[in-house]
Structure 1
Amino acid sequence: MILTVGNTKGGVGKTTLAVNLAIARAWAGRDVWLIDGDRQGTAQTAISIRAESGRQPGIACATYPDGQTLRAQVQQQRGKFDDVVIDAGGRDSTSLRAALVLSDVLLVPFQPRSYDVWALNDIAALVDEARSVRDGLRAFAVLNCADPGEASSDNAEASAAVADVPQFAYLATPIRRRKAFANAAGAGLSVLELKPPDPKASAELSALVNALFEG
């Protein structure tokens, strides 16, 4: 599967999710290729830290912020991997547009804030463009950095707003605002690898992985 984690809005936690998803799939025995499509190179930095610390399983990672290069490399090498996870930059970029045309699944994380919800319409237009040239792109929106409270009104209002953007299916597997996610990604880890473990964070990530790859 080729999965892109993307949004035209920055600051929604794309890289943290992409790193966590890639490592979780590697732990499941899959050959995974993580592509950093952002010029900031944060995902590449996280995986470099992981490699330097000798953590296993290792994750293949490359940085292709240019859409033409990303497209060419994925087309040439996709057959070598079970799963390709693309971390696209937080803007309407050539790498994001190239990733959408190549991907089987788009995951759009958004936070429970008005600006994030409004931005869904921007990337929805890109989804329409990608679907006009390639059939089969499935697009999902997931609440990221959600308020910890189960009954948060902000979470509920944000998730309900996705219904107004028909290009996306809403995944009822929110990732809540927990230090474990930031701490893990900064060390090149998944929350599944943290010691001591955070059972709630691990359960949330596992639910998201199952919804994307097993659903």
Structure 2
Amino acid sequence: MVARRPRIITVANQKGGVGKTTTAINLATALAAIGENVLIVDLDPQGNASTGLGVERSEREISSYDLLIGDVTIAQSAVKNAVPGLAVVPSTLDLLGVEMEISASPDRALRLRKAIEAPNGGAEAYDYILIDCPPSLNLLTLNSMAAADSVLVPLQCEFFALEGLSQLLHTVDQVRSSLNPRLTIQGIVMTMFDGRNNLANQVVQDVRTHMGDKVYETVIPRNVRVSEAPSYGKPAILYDLKCSGSQAYLQLASEVIRRERLLRAA
């Protein structure tokens, strides 16, 4: 029997503070809640996805750094948490030095892909692998895009949203032409939306005008409960299922699955 291949989605935006890690954590949790087996690979040296899933820094003996340098497999580095069906390959500050360590290697941008595609490496246990990238377009982000099927872009409802998006889309095009021809844009999700703010409404309208059906119908609201959840080491969906932010991420998970089914059927 041929091992199944997980769908790999990288959550990326070179701009910080757009809700990237929050989206990765809560989308993964929502997917797990509806029966999917999900792995988050934390590729951000800050390690916020790991913290947000309750993995203490003292517990991160094996990390995504070890995965990239080839010392461990997915199965050896994945850590389970309080969410059934969800695991995380945690991050440590060691990732800050990984670019220098692998920069001279011909396969420097393909390390994560090789780890995921390794026979019996453990990736086959998951339906979805979500990769949380650092807020920059560096070698770690290139590794994530080279390994992924698609890119999910969280975009904050602010004035310069489209300006940053164009740079990211250019990078996706470059990766598609040089490293990973299967890479697509899974979708763009508008985050931190405040309906009372006229600018936020205008930004959503402008992004939909420029990007069309690439933009998810679901819009993630600015929500205090979602902001509080990481300090308790929990996804918002566990911290407060009924809050507007949690409900939005559940809706987003449904949209992601619908899009993935359409892609597979195409």
TM over 0.5: yes
- Mean Cα deviation higher: 118-127 or 98-107: 98-107
**Pair 1:92 & 2:137 matched:** yes
The corresponding residue for 1:59 is 86
Q: Is contact 2:189–2:219 with CA below 8 Å preserved after alignment?
A: yes
Q: 1:30 aligns with which of 24, 36, 51?
A: 36
Which portions of structure 1, spanning 4 or more consecutive aligned residues, are displaced by more than 6 angstroms? none
CA distance in 2, matches of 1:161, 1:57: 38
The corresponding residue for 1:194 is 239
Judged with a 3 Å threshold, the aligned counterparts in structure 2 of structure 1 residues 193 and 84 are, in CA distance, closer, same or farther, namely same
Q: Is contact 1:107–1:140 with CA below 8 Å preserved after alignment?
A: yes
Q: 2:189 aligns with which of 130, 142, 155?
A: 142
The corresponding residue for 2:9 is 3
**Pair 1:70 & 2:112 matched:** yes
CA distance in 2, matches of 1:201, 1:166: 23
When normalised by structure 2's length, the TM-score is 0.70
| 1:48 partner SS | coil
The corresponding residue for 2:128 is 83
- Mean Cα deviation higher: 100-109 or 54-63: 54-63
| 1:114 partner SS | coil
CA distance in 1, matches of 2:256, 2:230: 20
Q: Is contact 1:33–1:81 with CA below 8 Å preserved after alignment?
A: yes
Q: 1:14 aligns with which of 10, 20, 34?
A: 20
**How far does residue 3 in structure 1 lie from its aligned partner after superposition?**
1.3
Q: Is contact 1:24–1:190 with CA below 8 Å preserved after alignment?
A: no
| 1:89 partner SS | coil
Question: Aligned pair count?
Answer: 210
CA distance in 2, matches of 1:39, 1:116: 24
Residue identity in the other structure for 2:254: N
Q: Is contact 1:47–1:59 with CA below 8 Å preserved after alignment?
A: no
CA distance in 1, matches of 2:82, 2:143: 31
Q: Is contact 1:127–1:167 with CA below 8 Å preserved after alignment?
A: no
**Structure 1 gap segments, 5+ residues each:** none
**How far does residue 63 in structure 1 lie from its aligned partner after superposition?**
4.0
The corresponding residue for 1:211 is 255
**How far does residue 164 in structure 1 lie from its aligned partner after superposition?**
6.6
CA distance in 2, matches of 1:120, 1:168: 15
When normalised by structure 1's length, the TM-score is 0.85
- Alignment RMSD: 2.5
Deviations 1:32-86 (A, max 9, x none): 1111111111111222348x9x724263211464555433322224322111011
Judged with a 3 Å threshold, the aligned counterparts in structure 2 of structure 1 residues 135 and 158 are, in CA distance, closer, same or farther, namely same
Percent sequence identity over aligned pairs: 26
Which structure has the greater CA radius of gyration? 2
Q: Is contact 1:68–1:94 with CA below 8 Å preserved after alignment?
A: no
Instruction: After TM superposition, list the pairs within 5 Å mapping 1:153-168 onto structure 2.
Output: 153-163=198-208, 166=211
Residue identity in the other structure for 1:193: L
